Structure 1
Amino acid sequence: MKRFLKTFFILTLSFFVFLPVAGAGELAGGAPLSAKNAALAAASKDTLEQAVNYLKQNVPSLNTPADRRSGYAFLAGVLEQGGNFQEAMTFYVKAAAIAAGDAEGMEKKSSEQLVLDAVRCALSGGDWATAQNYLNSSVRNSTNPSIVSYIKLYEQWALLCKAQKADEISETIAMLKTYSSLDSMKAVHPQVLLTLWHITGEETYAARLKKEFPKSLEAAVVKGEIQVLPAPFWYFVPRKSDSIPEVAGVKNSENQEGNKVQPEKAGGKNGELPADEKILRQQLGLFREKGNAERLVSNLKQKGFEARITEEVRPSGTKYYLVVVDENKAGTMGNELRNAGFECYPLFE
């Protein structure tokens, strides 16, 4: 877990070295704790939970409004990276509400960008209503072309998130196709093309990604080099085509989630897991309809796997049914499931 925290830290503050940090609220010598040093201290923690708790304890008492603003934004980023979209959204909004600039040594973000970060988290969690509420806030008055592009993209994502059936997304598909050819939307063309590929199954969008944006994360997804991480948005967006795009080996659309990407093999060299992370179970699907989950469980049991269903209620109030199989003592359950033709991803302790 410390490897993850340091990697996240390097992505945002790579030009700083690790500095010794004193106790809560101050640096060695009694100097007030800055956002930069709070981020450094959080990155040195052994677990994600420790890092989050440290930031929650110290960010409210940081030295200046700018430090608190950047501190909340950093905390939100850590939570989002950890898949805690609801809480991340809350802290992005809290950061956006602070009338201050960016703290020294921290990522530069406008309040409009922070609001859009909150929208992205709402959509990642499947909460289209909250996403639309934030999109209808003052951010809609932005004159920044990039911000306007993301607003238009997220509006269509919210409609996709809201849709229940494939025949409800025709207008959204038409709008995204229009966006994919507009120069004014070029800032989000990779995301638009990936979305179109995902919901239509048409390889023309994958081909455009690989040709026009070969080094983008979206292109890596369609090449199968990286995979999307679990998030309800990608699981539940209706598909227009029966031809399901293959994302890094994931072939069943109802078993796939994600709005962020990372290498398919988690961990260190050769994909091994960090020593302080333990797999508890493998998740094979997340469904709105219990009957679909029950059919997958029946299929798994026919192949000799002890599958079960767990329930989860999201902040939107929607109940989802998760199909899981407990990890075995040898730690080989994931490979056994994949060898039997089931796609899965690990849930850690």
Structure 2
Amino acid sequence: MQSKFRALSGALIMAAAAATSAPALADGEVNIYSYRQPFLIQPLIDAFAAETGVKANVIFASKGLGERIAAEGENSPADVLLTVDIGRLDGAKQLGITQPVSSDIVNENIPAQYRDPEGHWIGLTNRARIIYASRDRVDQDSITYEELADPKWKGRICTRSGQHVYTIGLIASMVAHHGEEKTEEWLAGVRDNLARKPAGNDRAQVKAINAGECDISIGNTYYMGKMETNDKEPEQKEWAASVRILFPNAEDRGSHVNLAGVVLAKNAPNKDNAVKLIEFLTSPEAQRIYAETNFEYPVTPGVEVSERVSSWGELKPDALPLADIAKNRKTASELVDKVGFDNGPAS
């Protein structure tokens, strides 16, 4: 199985991840396909190997892993898929490459709103879709998503593409709360308030705020941590210092949150070890590692956020089940095209 696993990796990056502290007689293996970069999950893999003796083999790629598992079919060596965003988690289920996880440990550790009702995906950490606001040009300390359509923000908002999975998730949550018609009106209002056509990633929007091109942007919380600690590109620390985080709708329903999560592959050749890994990833120990390494919010109740994440303010997460948001992703994508969101303001 191991030789086949290596052969199938092709041009993907292979990261064999046996922990140095693992027992000499490892209790089997588990094969991970991951959209999360190896350095982000390595501490988790090391801890899992130390606790269980199971050797983890990791293939990393930025796209196409779900489709790859589907193409490999019954011969796929994949045991689990680690990914980000409810769109990709639900997308894996829709591809037919998952099987339900039946585990009392997982059900006890992960609240129902962060699990697929049928067990096909499990959330591991949260990230909130928040507002980055200029420290110099924005005085208010609270905001709502609905307010982004207010004309007072005309020419002042930056964001990435409306068709990016992160944006689709937020728009889908608006559909779930307000319905399609009102969300279309809102999205057109946000479009008209844009400072420019949507472009770049979340960090690029904060860079634009620092450069004075806009005053607020929409982004994920963990990018603040990545910018604040970026020693290789210290200019990103300057970008981060120019903004503060506003948690939308903190006074009412709470801020939209999305997930990093895991699925159990339909044809997992090492199913027992895969379930062990999934159970470990939901444990308080793993959740603490995840939180410290990736600047994300643990979903296991009682696990504290990191000191850095805590310094950004208190997150009140929207209690809407992520499965309900996933149902509205197609509508959200259609609305982005319908209002010409990615064409920019006045389109």
- Give the TM interval when normalised to the shorter protein: under 0.3
Higher relative contact order (CA 8 A, sep 6+): 2
User: TM-score normalised to the size of structure 2?
Assistant: 0.27
Structure 1 or 2: more strand by fraction: 2
User: TM-score normalised to the size of structure 1?
Assistant: 0.27
